[in-house]
Structure 1
């Protein structure tokens, strides 16, 4: 993978991680339900898939 594409991928990962952190901050622990937790888990899974893809592309 060339450098501009790598930088783009890293920026995309940073953006998704930032979205995850914002979502995590917005959830109230006292009122979080299973759907909220499932959404967070799916976001983590997506980040992991993107990281794995980036590793295999290098």
Structure 2
């Protein structure tokens, strides 16, 4: 079972956010602008929203 405790360590928070941004960039790079569908754009927006939420959570733990 995965460890679901909140990430408290600042360094681990930064690593987590970098990993999420790298995943986002990989997905973004894989999308062909000529063939992108609304679902693809919606998924990108959802990924950014998730990253933003995590940033707010980390900020609240200071």
TM-score higher than 0.5: yes
Task: Determine which of 34, 44, 47 is the counterpart of 1:43.
Answer: 47
Stretches of structure 2 lacking an aligned partner (at least 5 in a row): 1-7
Bigger fraction of residues in helix:
1
RCO higher in structure (CA 8 A, sep ≥6): 1
Which runs of at least 4 in structure 1 moved beyond 2 Å after TM superposition?
none
CA RMSD in angstroms, aligned pairs only:
1.1
Aligned pairs for 1:12-51 within 5 A: 12-51=16-55
- 2: distance between equivalents of 1:22 and 1:57? 29
- Measured after TM superposition, the shift of residue 26 of structure 1 is 0.4
- 1: distance between equivalents of 2:57 and 2:50? 11
TM-score (norm 1): 0.90
Stretches of structure 1 lacking an aligned partner (at least 5 in a row): none
- Measured after TM superposition, the shift of residue 9 of structure 1 is 1.0
